[in-house]
Chains A and B, each alone.
Chain A
C-alpha cells in the first residue's frame, strides 16, 4: 500500500475530522502524515493470521448495572460553560442548520 498523500487526501480527511485547515497546514500535514504512515506501514509485514484484535485489555469484564434512574447534572450546570445558550429555555444556541 502506498502512503503517498495528496492535498485532496488531506482535504478529505480534514472534512471527516471537521477541521478547516489553512493552506499552510494542509502542506505541512501532507508531508508529516506521509512520513508517519510510511513508518507505521511496517506493521503490515507482520503475520497476524488468526490473531484476534485487542480493542481493550479487560474486554471480558462484565460492566452492566441495573437500569435505574440516577441524578444527573442540573440544567443550569450543564449550560454554564456554553459559549451561547438560552438559559431560560434550557437550550444551546447554534447557527441555522436547515435552509441556511
Chain B
C-alpha cells in the first residue's frame, strides 16, 4: 500500500470515488508512514490515528451507498498545529497551549471535511508561527527530509516536511511573512499563499491579523489548486474574507505560458543571493522564456525596506493578539502567581512563552508605546503603502513578479539561532507579499550542492491565483524537479 502515497491528491480522490482504492487503506498507509518517519523528522505534534480511520471509513461507506463524494474524498491531509480542530489538541507548538482542546472547528477544517478530506495529523511549527527555521517550537525542531542537519524552513516546517517525505499528498500551513513559501522551497514542494482575505482565518490562532493567511502544500501545482478551490471563499465568521468570486483554479492549468509577462526585479535580487540560488533562478526564468513567456524588468524601490517594515508591523500586531494568553480562560497557568492577578498574568506568560515569542511581544509593545508609535509603527505602515504602490506599478508591466523564494538553500540547524536579526533577514524575498496582500507560490526549481532544494517564487496580482497556478503547472510539465523525493 505504501506506493499509494506517491499518488497525487487528485489521483487518490479519483480512485477512491471510482472504487479502486479504499479511503481506509490510503489513510492507513499515511498513518504508518508518519509513524515510521516521525522519530527522524519530528514533523508531527499529534497523529490522529483513530479519528482519521473512522473518518476514512465513513468515506468508504458513503461511496458504497452511492453518495456523491467531495473533491477531496479520501485524501489524507495534515494541518499545521495552529488551526483548531474540535476535540483535537491544538498547541501552536507553545507550552502556553500545551493542553488546549479547541471547542470548535476552524473554517478550513469544516471545509476540508465537507470535501471528504481526512485529517490525519497536526504538524510541528515555530511557536505561534514565529520563525523561519522551525527551531522555535516547544517540541523541538523539525528536521529537513533532504538533510537531517538542516532546517525544513519555517514556520510551517512540519507541514512542508510531511509532504516532502510522502506522508501526505496535501497539508496546510499559514503564511505571515513567508511561512508557507519558504519551507516549501526548503523541502522541495509546492507552497502556496493565497491573496489576503481569500481563505478564512477563523480558527487560526492569530499571529499578525493583517498578514496571516492559510494555504496549501502539495507536490504539484494542480493539487495546491484543488485544495485552494475547497478552502477559498467568503466566511461570515471572518470579516476580512473577500467577497471576490472564486474562479475554477483547475481550469487555469492550460500548460501554456505564451504571452505571460514575468517581471524580474533585477536590482533587488542581485545582492546577497547564494550562487546556486541565483543559477537555478536564472535557469527557471530561461525555461519559462523558452516556453513563450516574456521577461520584463520591474523596479521595486521600497522592497529593500520590507524586512524592517514587516518586523515592525507583525510584532505590533502579535503583541496585541497574544495578550489573550494569560492563564485564565485556557492553556498553561503558572503555579507561582497565586498572590495577585498581575503576578498570575506575568508569571504565566514568562513561563509559557518561548524566547522568540517573548522577543516579538517586547518589540511589538515597544513600537506601539507612547513616544515610539509615530517613529516606528506609523512610519512602517506608511512605507507599507509605498511598497503596495511599487507592486501596483510593476503589475502594470508584468502579470507576475519572480524572485527566489529564499536567498539561500536550507541552512544548518543552529546556524542562526543566536542572532535573531540574521534569521529575520532570511525572509527578504517573502515578506512583501504579506505586506501587499498579494498571492504567492514557491515551486521546486533545482538543487544546491548536497541535494538541497531551491524554490522559485512567483507573486501575482490581488486575487489572481489562477495565473500563478497556470505558470507553476506549465513549469512542472517542462521540468522534473517536483517529482524528486528525499531518501528517508
A residues whose Cβ falls under 8 Å from a Cβ of B: 1, 10, 12-14, 16-22, 25, 28-29, 32-33, 35-37, 39-44, 46, 48, 51-58, 61, 63, 65, 73, 77-78, 80-84, 92, 94-97, 100
Give the dominant DSSP class at B's interface.
helix
Chain B residues lying within 8 Å of A20, measured Cβ to Cβ, are: 343, 346-347, 349-350
Taking A17-B365, A19-B353 as given, write out 18 further A-B residue pairs in contact, using a Cβ cutoff of 8 Å, ordered by the A residue number: A12-B369, A18-B323, A18-B326, A18-B345, A19-B349, A21-B358, A29-B362, A33-B362, A36-B421, A40-B376, A43-B312, A48-B382, A51-B382, A53-B385, A65-B236, A81-B103, A94-B341, A94-B344
Contact A81 B101, CB 8 Å, known A32-B420, A52-B382: yes
Q: Across the interface, do B346 and A52 meet the contact criterion of CB distance under 8 Å?
A: no
- Asked whether, in the complex, the Cβ of A36 is within 8 Å of the Cβ of B424, the reply is yes
Q: With the chains together, A22 CA to B328 CA distance in Å?
A: 22
The CA-CA distance from A49 to B349 in the complex, in Å, is 39
Q: How far is the CB of B131 from chain A (nearest CB, A)?
A: 15
Q: Are A80 and B362 in contact (CB under 8 A)?
A: no
Q: How far is the CB of A42 from chain B (nearest CB, A)?
A: 6
| One of A35, A53, A95 near B384 (C-beta < 8 A) | A53
Q: How far is the CB of A95 from chain B (nearest CB, A)?
A: 5
List of B residues within 8 angstroms of A40 by Cβ: 308, 311-312, 376, 380
Residues of B with C-beta under 8 A to A42: 305, 308
Q: For A97, what are the chain B residues with a Cβ–Cβ distance below 8 Å?
A: 340-341
Shortest Cβ gap from A76 to chain B (Å): 9
> Shortest 7 CB-CB distances between A and B: which pairs?
A81-B330, A57-B437, A53-B381, A83-B333, A20-B346, A63-B239, A48-B382
Is B9 on the interface with A (CB-CB < 8 A)? Answer: no
A-side contacts of B330, CB under 8 Å? 81-83
Judging by beta carbons under 8 Å apart, are A39 and B421 in contact? Answer: yes
Which B residue's beta carbon lies closest to that of A32? B420
Q: Taking the complex as formed, is B260 at the interface, i.e. its CB lies under 8 A from any CB of chain A?
A: no
Q: How large is the interface on B (under 10, 10 to 19, 20 to 34, 35 or more residues)?
A: 35 or more
* A95 CA to B326 CA, complexed, in Å: 13
Interface flag for B443 (CB, 8 Å)? no
Docked-complex contact B382 and A100, CB < 8 angstroms = no
> Are A43 and B350 neighbours in the complex by a CB distance under 8 Å?
no
Q: Decide if B242 touches A48 in the complex (CB within 8 Å).
A: no
Pairwise interchain contact A51-B385, C-beta atoms closer than 8 A: yes
Would you give the 0/1 interface string for B226-268, flagging 1 where the beta carbon is closer than 8 Å to chain A? 0000000000100110110000000000000000000000000
Q: Is B319 an interface residue (CB 8 A)?
A: yes
Residues of B within 8 A of A94 (CB): 328, 341, 344
Among the interface residues A16, A25, A92, which one has the most CB atoms of the partner chain B within 10 A?
A16
Q: How far is the CB of B110 from chain A (nearest CB, A)?
A: 15
Say how far A48's CB is from chain B's closest CB, in angstroms. 4
Smallest CB separation, B367 vs chain A (Å): 8
Distance of B151 from chain A, by nearest CB (Å)? 20
Closest to A30 in B: B362
The answer for the CA separation of A17 and B348 in the assembled complex, in Å, is 12
